[in-house]
Chain A
Amino acid sequence: MRRASREWQRLGERCMERLLFAGSLSGIVTLGAMVVFTFAAGLPVILRTGLGRFLLGQHWRPLEGEFGIAAMVVGSVFVTLGALAAAVPLGLGTAILLSEFAPPWVRRIARPAVELLAGIPSVVYGFYGLVVIVPLIRQHLGGVGFSILAGSVILAVMILPTLITIALDSLRQVPDSYRQGSLALGATRWQTVRRVVLPAARSGVVAAVVLGAGRAVGETMAVLMVTGNVAVLPESILSPVRTLTGNIALEMGYAAGEHQQALFASGIVLFILTMILNGLIQLRRVGRVAR
């Protein structure tokens, strides 16, 4: 009797372990399935067009069978860089303030506020950009308003929460003894932050920036609503541009046949772009462990 029940118990343990094991592979299995499905749908077009002509081609005329995504890649990169240029100083500044200077009550109010910013659906941002930011840019800076600048402003606000929360966490992880040591040597608070705390938190701060960049590259609806979606190489930050994500969301509904495959192909490029960004973070992590 007792032996039998122990056998059952062991059987239960085994079953559980296998189920959990299966669960642990869910991430990689899902990723694999996504790679298979998107590549199967998109790769033929890239192969037919030729990788060079697909990536560097300047003309996107899907109905005439011309698929060049250079303008979209440039669009995605510029909008992302613009967003980072605004969001990195702002986000880091806020994180440093909340971690090092602000009294606790400010942190108690600011942190949930920043998290709220992260929870607002992207369509709300896009809608706000469409009715407020785009007209503002057109009236004060010229152009049609739909522009790299409009996309960057909206994206900057959208990636602020990612930047602030991750940077804040890594700053808080710097041991207080570092700060005390520096202050005891006669450094001011700001000198301590610049010379001691920031260098110590560097890898976390870099991770925050890279994750923010990843979010910016991948954002779709909000950007689509404010960048004007012109698939031409931009001349200035006031030029309208089309991003890779925008290209997919814009034309997916109407695309068929080769056109749709080409959209999946731009999806592949986007996929690889985000994998590279992700790889950057993971490499840093491995490097840190090795050190």
Chain B
Amino acid sequence: MEEGLARAVLWGCLLVVLGALAAIVGHVLVQGLPGIDVDFLTTAPRASGREGGILTTIVATLYLVAGALAIAGPVGIACAIYLAEYLREGSLERIARFGVQTLAGVPSIIFGLFGFTAFVLWLGLGWSILSGSLTLAAMILPTLVKAAEEAIRAVPDSYRQGSLALGATKGQTILRVVLPVAMPGILSGVILSIGRVIGETAAVLLTAGSALGFAVSPLDSGRTMAVHLYLLAMEGISVPKAYSTSAVLILLVVGLNALATRITSRFTVRR
């Protein structure tokens, strides 16, 4: 009796969760998909986004993703390697780990405030792709480090021992043996981070600005898709375009998730 009731309640929970997902995604896709065509994706917005497409916002989003990854990628992977391969437990390890973990819990708006004072004003970079990239790099750093460290730790010790026994140095072993094996795990961390960059609004608005033109140099300001959506919806510029922009964002996230799943599953199979 209790058993049956418990199961019914648990299935109910799942249905509510999936129902919420279906309601939100369904609502947005139904309203937004009809407005998406090749033109929408390949023309620049006109009249503040009331007409035209979202090409410039796609460009700005890609630019920001590339910038944030270029900055946070090497640093984050270096951090993960050091944490996993060099550091023994101790106060230094605790400090490094405390930094990364605390950073993971900091709200994005705080990153925005920080980026605004530090990069936009103090360094004088202005509202720009560069300011935005630096800010977002700080934001995705914990995600990258965590994924990369886990992937590196998952590499069996026998690989390292084999390499070292053949006379390779520790550095060579890491670069030629450990990293290639850990790469799929690192990549799925990268994809997760891309998702966060694409979806972030508050921090981007405060640091990369909201200019609608084509961003060419890293010092140009740019409006990402998420910021564009926020302005379209909140300024009430064009609700249909807002729906279409959200639909594009959701499709992008679905694509990224599928990619991450494929990479991870391949990784698991190979192990």
A contact residues vs B (CB 8 Å cutoff) = 9, 12-13, 16-17, 19-34, 37-38, 40-41, 89-94, 96-98, 101-102, 106, 110, 112-117, 119-128, 130, 132, 157, 160, 164, 188-191, 193, 211, 214, 217-221, 225, 245, 248-249, 252, 263-264, 267, 270-271, 274-275, 277-278, 281-282
A8 shortest CB reach to chain B, Å: 11
What 4 A-B pairs come out closest when comparing CB atoms? A23-B78, A218-B107, A28-B99, A93-B13
| Complex contact B201–A128 (CB within 8 A) | no
> Is B110 positioned at the interface, with any CB of A under 8 Å from its CB?
yes
Main secondary structure of the interface of A (DSSP, over half): helix
Which one, B37-45, B137-145, B156-164, B211-219, is touching chain A? Answer: B137-145
What residues of chain B lie closer than 8 Å to A125, measured between beta carbons?
Answer: 24
CB–CB B249/A189 < 8 A = no
Determine whether the beta carbon of A37 is less than 8 Å from that of B114. yes
Cα A91 to Cα B78 in complex, Å, equals 35
User: Counting CB contacts under 8 A, is B101 at the interface?
Assistant: yes
B13–A90 contact, CB under 8 A? yes
Q: Enumerate chain B residues within 8 angstroms of A190, measured Cβ to Cβ.
A: 2-3, 6-7
Asked if A34 contacts B28 (CB within 8 A), the reply is no
B62 near A: Cβ within 8 Å? Answer: no
B102 within 8 A of A: yes
A281 to B105, CA, bound (A): 11
Chain A nearest CB, measured from B5 CB (Å): 9
Chain A residue contacts of B27, Cβ below 8 A: 128, 132
What residues of chain B lie closer than 8 Å to A245, measured between beta carbons? 107, 109, 202
B17 close to A114 (CB less than 8 A): yes
A94 to B116, alpha carbons, bound, how many Å? 40
Q: From residue B264, how far is it (CB to closest CB) to chain A in Å?
A: 11
Q: With a 10 A CB-CB cut-off, give which of A30, A89, A282 has the most chain B CB atoms.
A: A30
Asked if B118 and A33 sit within 8 Å, CB to CB, the answer is yes
CB contact list, B90-110 vs A, under 8 A: 95-110
Q: Check B111 for interface membership: any CB of A closer than 8 A.
A: yes
A-B contact pairs, 11 of them (CB 8 A): A13-B171, A24-B82, A27-B100, A31-B103, A38-B113, A113-B21, A119-B254, A123-B229, A190-B2, A218-B106, A278-B104
Number of interface residues of B (CB under 8 A): 82
Residues of chain B with a CB closer than 8 A to A220's CB:
107-109, 201-202
**With A117-B20, A130-B233, A274-B107 already in contact, 6 other A-B pairs whose C-beta atoms are closer than 8 Å:** A29-B99, A94-B17, A116-B253, A220-B201, A245-B107, A277-B105
B199 at the interface (CB under 8 A from A): yes
Query: Is the pair B14, A278 in contact by a Cβ cutoff of 8 Å?
Result: no
When C-beta atoms are compared, the residue in chain A nearest to B78 turns out to be A23
A114 contacts across to B, CB distance below 8 A: 17, 21
Q: Which residues of A contact B76 (CB under 8 A)?
A: 23, 26
- A117 proximity list for chain B (CB < 8 A): 17, 20-21
| Minimum Cβ distance to chain B for residue A40 (Å) | 8
B13 A24 Cβ-Cβ under 8 A: no
Q: Which residue of A lies closest to B118 (CB)?
A: A37
Q: How far is the CB of A82 from chain B (nearest CB, A)?
A: 15
Residues of A close to B3: CB separation below 8 A: 188-191
CB proximity of A238 to chain B, nearest CB, Å: 21
Which of B77, B102, B122 has most A Cβ within 10 Å?
B102
Residues of B within 8 A of A219 (CB): 107
Residue pair B14, A94 in contact (C-beta under 8 Å): yes
Closest to B206 in A: A252
| Min C-beta distance of A106 to chain B, whole Å | 8
Q: Which residues of A contact B230 (CB under 8 A)?
A: 123, 126, 221
Bound state CA distance, A110 and B249, in angstroms?
Answer: 21
Question: Which residues does chain A contribute within 8 Å of B102, judged by CB atoms?
Answer: 27, 31, 275, 278
Return the contact of A38 from the options B2, B114, B169, B199 (Cβ within 8 A): B114
A172 to B28, CA, bound (A): 34
A283 to B94, CA, bound (A): 12
